[in-house]
Chain A
Amino acid sequence: MEGIFGNLAIGFTEVFKLQAITIAGVSMTLPFNILMCLIGVILGTLIGVLPGIGPVATIAMLLPVTFNLAPIAALIMLAGIYYGAQYGGSTTAILVNLPGESSSVVTCLDGYQMARRGRAGPALATAAIGSFFAGCVATLVVAMFAPPLAEVALKFGPAEYFSLMVLGLVAAVVLASGSLIKAIAMVILGLLLGLVGTDVNSGVLRFAFGISEMADGIGFVTVAMGMFGICEIIANLEQKEHREVFTSKVGSLMPGKEDWKRMWKPILRGTALGSALGILPGGGALLASFGAYTLEKKVSAYSHEFGKGAIEGVAAPEAANNAGAQTSFIPLLTLGIPSNAVMALMIGAMMIQGIAPGPQVMTERPQLFWGMIASMWVGNLMLVILNLPLIGMWIKLLTVPYRYLYPSILLFMAIGVFSISNQPFDCFLMACFGLLGYVCVKLGCEPAPLILGFILGPLMEENLRRAMLLSRGDPWVFISPSKPISMGFLLAALALLVIIALPALRKKRQEVFVEET
């Protein structure tokens, strides 16, 4: 145990270290690493709030800047951008129903409803508090259990990933509050849309119809902005009476006693789920956030409120996605394997600086390793200090009449989507998805399951085919006793499906029964 504190001491000393820096010809002694952390989290929050522009593009653009920084300063800043973007993304999800990151999609569901009912303050506060708590715990998890957790992550092969995603997709169905069959259909439609693009296993370009902009698939941001953002604006504008979208009666800025009582258990559960799933490269953090939502919905005494502004529906996913963001550093720091595109960029930044990412980083460069971990905690602290006072400002923003608000939102969305590849085509796609979302809402189909299917679909197919390749075509590989994890997930998925289907079946039987009497 002393080892941990010793290491954390190394880390914190590194983070708070005073360095002699020359800025614009003026030399001064600053705790430079802290400054980099601050810049990172502020920048991260900003791009998280701005719809469409994400941490990947920003970090890629800033990569040349990091060349001239010391490795630890560079990595601290980039990491700050990454988890800062999670905080910022929650803000837009709650305020304007726009998921900044794929893991914020779930926050939109209840967060936005809370905002519409004048409870944006408590929603934002819950998100910040939940994220901070989860960040602290997850950082501790990274500090104490990084190597063994990395070994666990390695145990996840294609079969396990596939089964996990099946479980995730079944959980996605739970997200919907309406008709079960339509929810499943939306998930499948999302799966199909996600298949557009280059197929990994064969190299074939699918469903691109010769449009080169679609050669790498349709971007998540495009779909999310279209189906959530544009659709919502149109829906708000079609109210015949000129009614304000957000009630001008704004409640308190902070959560009330009742809220606190209701949020602490979801935060705990979300943190646990997020910490566990975040270590899985490729999609772990996203699964965590909506796994947490599903879990809460099933477990909570207030499950009827989900979808209409239940605070648990904000607390749990937010805790989960921030915990996941922290633990997704584990494969990077211990094995040198990136969990997502942001980590891949950070590996690139490390390699350019001459640091080979991998297990030896922990032993050969303890300052770097523990400094990064310490900086994650400091960064979370900065973020909660930054975001809580900002809530007042955001609330004020919501009182602006909608006719000023929505062109601004639309403009930022358009800029964000355009900046994906600096081509007009993405905005065209966004408009198309806006139309699709609008039609779906009119037909009683919910967009959230579609988005989740969209993200998970290609991953699921890739892993399915790879597992089949590796097992030489044996379909029983997924439930074979030699793969207990995979079997476990599939059984859980089946169980969940039964739990979901049972009430619906019972209802149908009751109806038939009633009709017959």
Chain B
Amino acid sequence: MRTLLRLLILVWLAAAAEFAAAQAWPSKPVRLIVPYGPGGPVDISARLLAAKLQDALGQPVLPDNRPGAGGNIGVDLVAKGAADGSTLVMSAIATLAINPTLYPGLPYDPLKDLRHVTLLVQVPNVLIVANDLPAKNVKELIALARQRPGKLDFGSGSTGSTGHLAGEMFKMMTGTYMVHIPYRGSAPALADMMAGRVHLMFDNLASALPSIKSDKVRALATTTRARSSFLPDLPTLDEAGLKGFDMTTWWGVSVAAKTPQAVVDRLSAEILKAMDAPDMKERLRNMGSEAPAVRTPDQFAAFVAAELKTYTALVKRSGAKVD
């Protein structure tokens, strides 16, 4: 009986300590690591979030750009860093689901070394083609690709990006062969597409929307299963015959794995509150993001695990590799 009492007291103390730690967190400025250079969509959304979190947490939230190796450097910093909630990282589909298979010898394990807090942005990719390409819909494109194996080029923002992998998936499902041309970010790829040097792209909606709306490129389909509310007339690849095609570009906030649960909960609550604020919601929408259905850390973790499984298989089958 006494042992039971002692045990209960211990458990209560531990919980109280964690609770206290969570209340005390953050006690110093929080670093939000952005594993990419300044100006990209992840960076911008991180700065939006940081501004909001700063007000809510009462401590400065400082975005810190740490680009390199497709985002791995920044994520690894946090995975190996202090687990006290003082460092957060903008983790994305590339760093969590794709790179583990793409980069041999990745220094962190996306499921074991990180605790995933909140999914911030989820954007569909859009299949866009150059205006002078003689393909008005997906069917014509597939026919064209089959007619000219190896002659069509598809651009992407980087090796291992969703743009790249969507293209690989498309190739596998349609049995066609197109050449991948990596760029430093979507913008130069879009420029080459407008000029007709590159034939198609699976760009994310945020960066492609202005060009689509101004008729500089032609949109054929979205990569998600459901139609995008931004382009409701655009069919999905699933509708166009590639059954089961469902890809989005997403990113969110993660912390080191051993971060106390109370800190994770508080962080998650604050981020969700920030995301639900009308001005933030509006701004994220302007980036092409629809409010994600995945909300809690557990849902996010399950989501990451599922994406990891999908992309491990996809990357392996496509043979894409970073040597």
Contacts of B195 in A (CB 8 A): 154-155, 157
| Residue from B64, B150, B209, B287 within 8 A of A352 (CB atoms) | B287
Contacts of A204 in B (CB 8 A): 322-323
Given contacts A63-B47, A352-B283, A359-B216, whether A201 and B182 have CB atoms under 8 Å apart is yes
Given contacts A67-B48, A360-B214, whether A422 and B64 have CB atoms under 8 Å apart is yes
Would you call A347 an interface residue if the criterion is a C-beta within 8 Å of the partner chain's C-beta atoms?
A: yes
Given contacts A67-B51, A421-B66, A469-B179, whether A335 and B160 have CB atoms under 8 Å apart is no
Q: Chain B residue with minimal CB distance to A341?
A: B39
Q: Chain A residue with minimal CB distance to B31?
A: A422
Q: Chain A residue with minimal CB distance to B151?
A: A472
| Residue from B158, B187, B190 within 8 A of A344 (CB atoms) | B187
Bound form: Cα–Cα A56–B40 in Å? 12
Would you call B26 an interface residue if the criterion is a C-beta within 8 Å of the partner chain's C-beta atoms?
A: no
Would you call B286 an interface residue if the criterion is a C-beta within 8 Å of the partner chain's C-beta atoms?
A: yes
Chain A residues numbered 341-362 whose CB sits less than 8 Å from any CB in chain B: 341-342, 344-345, 347-348, 351-354, 356-360
Nearest chain A CB to B199's CB is how many angstroms away?
Answer: 10
Pairwise interchain contact A205-B69, C-beta atoms closer than 8 A: yes
Nearest chain B CB to A278's CB is how many angstroms away?
Answer: 16
Pairwise interchain contact B184-A462, C-beta atoms closer than 8 A: yes
Pairwise interchain contact A352-B67, C-beta atoms closer than 8 A: no
Would you call B210 an interface residue if the criterion is a C-beta within 8 Å of the partner chain's C-beta atoms?
A: yes
Given contacts A203-B159, A212-B76, A216-B68, whether A358 and B211 have CB atoms under 8 Å apart is yes
Nearest chain A CB to B193's CB is how many angstroms away?
Answer: 10
| Residue from B63, B187, B286 within 8 A of A353 (CB atoms) | B286
Given contacts A215-B69, A354-B282, A358-B213, whether A64 and B47 have CB atoms under 8 Å apart is yes
Pairwise interchain contact A197-B153, C-beta atoms closer than 8 A: no
Q: Chain A residue with minimal CB distance to B64?
A: A422
Nearest chain A CB to B132's CB is how many angstroms away?
Answer: 13
Pairwise interchain contact B64-A359, C-beta atoms closer than 8 A: no
Bound form: Cα–Cα A353–B279 in Å? 10
Contacts of A63 in B (CB 8 A): 44, 47
Would you call A57 an interface residue if the criterion is a C-beta within 8 Å of the partner chain's C-beta atoms?
A: yes
Nearest chain A CB to B249's CB is how many angstroms away?
Answer: 15
Contacts of A357 in B (CB 8 A): 210
Contact with B along A46-84 (1 / 0, CB 8 A): 000000000011011001100100000000000000000
Pairwise interchain contact A200-B183, C-beta atoms closer than 8 A: yes
- Total interface residues on B, CB under 8 Å, equals 58
Would you call A281 an interface residue if the criterion is a C-beta within 8 Å of the partner chain's C-beta atoms?
A: yes
Number of A-B contacts (CB under 8 A): 149
Would you call B43 an interface residue if the criterion is a C-beta within 8 Å of the partner chain's C-beta atoms?
A: yes
Q: Chain B residue with minimal CB distance to A363?
A: B214
Q: Chain B residue with minimal CB distance to A157?
A: B197
Contacts of A21 in B (CB 8 A): none
Chain B residues numbered 211-225 whose CB sits less than 8 Å from any CB in chain A: 211, 213-214, 216
Pairwise interchain contact B187-A197, C-beta atoms closer than 8 A: no
Bound form: Cα–Cα A197–B66 in Å? 13
Contacts of A345 in B (CB 8 A): 38-39
Contacts of B32 in A (CB 8 A): none
Which of B43, B50, B69 gathers most chain A CB within 10 Å? Answer: B69
Pairwise interchain contact B283-A60, C-beta atoms closer than 8 A: no
Contacts of A60 in B (CB 8 A): 38-39, 43, 47, 63, 65
Would you call B260 an interface residue if the criterion is a C-beta within 8 Å of the partner chain's C-beta atoms?
A: no
Would you call B77 an interface residue if the criterion is a C-beta within 8 Å of the partner chain's C-beta atoms?
A: yes
Pairwise interchain contact A216-B37, C-beta atoms closer than 8 A: yes
Bound form: Cα–Cα A338–B39 in Å? 10
Contacts of B64 in A (CB 8 A): 421-422
Would you call B244 an interface residue if the criterion is a C-beta within 8 Å of the partner chain's C-beta atoms?
A: no
Contacts of B192 in A (CB 8 A): 157-158
Would you call A202 an interface residue if the criterion is a C-beta within 8 Å of the partner chain's C-beta atoms?
A: yes
Pairwise interchain contact A348-B44, C-beta atoms closer than 8 A: yes
Contacts of B183 in A (CB 8 A): 200, 466
Chain B residues numbered 270-315 whose CB sits less than 8 Å from any CB in chain A: 279, 282-283, 286-287
Bound form: Cα–Cα A232–B114 in Å? 46
Nearest chain B CB to A47's CB is how many angstroms away?
Answer: 15
Would you call B144 an interface residue if the criterion is a C-beta within 8 Å of the partner chain's C-beta atoms?
A: no
Bound form: Cα–Cα A459–B283 in Å? 33
Contacts of B44 in A (CB 8 A): 63, 348, 351-352
Nearest chain B CB to A71's CB is how many angstroms away?
Answer: 11
Would you call B194 an interface residue if the criterion is a C-beta within 8 Å of the partner chain's C-beta atoms?
A: yes
Pairwise interchain contact A337-B181, C-beta atoms closer than 8 A: no
Bound form: Cα–Cα A75–B181 in Å? 33
Q: Chain B residue with minimal CB distance to A200?
A: B184
Given contacts A63-B47, A352-B44, whether A359 and B197 have CB atoms under 8 Å apart is no
Contacts of B209 in A (CB 8 A): 356
Nearest chain B CB to A328's CB is how many angstroms away?
Answer: 13
Would you call A470 an interface residue if the criterion is a C-beta within 8 Å of the partner chain's C-beta atoms?
A: yes
Contacts of B213 in A (CB 8 A): 356, 358, 360
Q: Chain A residue with minimal CB distance to B72?
A: A215
Pairwise interchain contact B160-A203, C-beta atoms closer than 8 A: yes
Nearest chain B CB to A354's CB is how many angstroms away?
Answer: 5
Q: Chain A residue with minimal CB distance to B287?
A: A351
Would you call A248 an interface residue if the criterion is a C-beta within 8 Å of the partner chain's C-beta atoms?
A: no
Contacts of B111 in A (CB 8 A): none
Nearest chain B CB to A217's CB is how many angstroms away?
Answer: 8
Would you call A300 an interface residue if the criterion is a C-beta within 8 Å of the partner chain's C-beta atoms?
A: no
Contacts of A348 in B (CB 8 A): 39-41, 43-44
Given contacts A203-B160, A347-B39, whether A358 and B216 have CB atoms under 8 Å apart is yes
Q: Chain B residue with minimal CB distance to A344?
A: B39
Bound form: Cα–Cα A357–B286 in Å? 12
Nearest chain A CB to B55's CB is how many angstroms away?
Answer: 11
Pairwise interchain contact A203-B210, C-beta atoms closer than 8 A: no
Which of B38, B160, B198 gathers most chain A CB within 10 Å? Answer: B38
Contacts of A470 in B (CB 8 A): 153, 181, 197-198
Would you call B9 an interface residue if the criterion is a C-beta within 8 Å of the partner chain's C-beta atoms?
A: no
Pairwise interchain contact A341-B37, C-beta atoms closer than 8 A: yes
Nearest chain B CB to A465's CB is how many angstroms away?
Answer: 9
Contacts of B322 in A (CB 8 A): 202-204
Pairwise interchain contact A281-B182, C-beta atoms closer than 8 A: no
Q: Chain B residue with minimal CB distance to A353?
A: B286
Would you call B191 an interface residue if the criterion is a C-beta within 8 Å of the partner chain's C-beta atoms?
A: yes
Would you call A236 an interface residue if the criterion is a C-beta within 8 Å of the partner chain's C-beta atoms?
A: no
Bound form: Cα–Cα A354–B210 in Å? 11
Pairwise interchain contact B77-A212, C-beta atoms closer than 8 A: yes
Pairwise interchain contact B38-A64, C-beta atoms closer than 8 A: no
Bound form: Cα–Cα A91–B282 in Å? 42
Known contacts A281-B191, A348-B40, A360-B213; 5 further A-B pairs (Cβ under 8 A) = A60-B47, A205-B68, A212-B66, A215-B69, A338-B39
User: Can you spell out 15 A-B residue pairs with CB atoms less than 8 angstroms apart?
Assistant: A63-B47, A67-B283, A157-B192, A198-B69, A200-B158, A200-B183, A281-B191, A337-B191, A344-B39, A347-B187, A348-B39, A352-B286, A358-B210, A360-B214, A422-B64
Q: Closest 8 interchain pairs by CB?
A: A215-B68, A344-B39, A64-B51, A203-B322, A356-B210, A358-B210, A203-B159, A348-B44
Instruction: Using CB atoms and an 8 Å cutoff, list the residues of chain A in contact with chain B.
Output: 56-57, 59-60, 63-64, 67, 154-155, 157-158, 197-198, 200-205, 208, 212, 215-216, 281-282, 331, 335-338, 341-342, 344-345, 347-348, 351-354, 356-360, 421-422, 462, 466, 469-470, 472
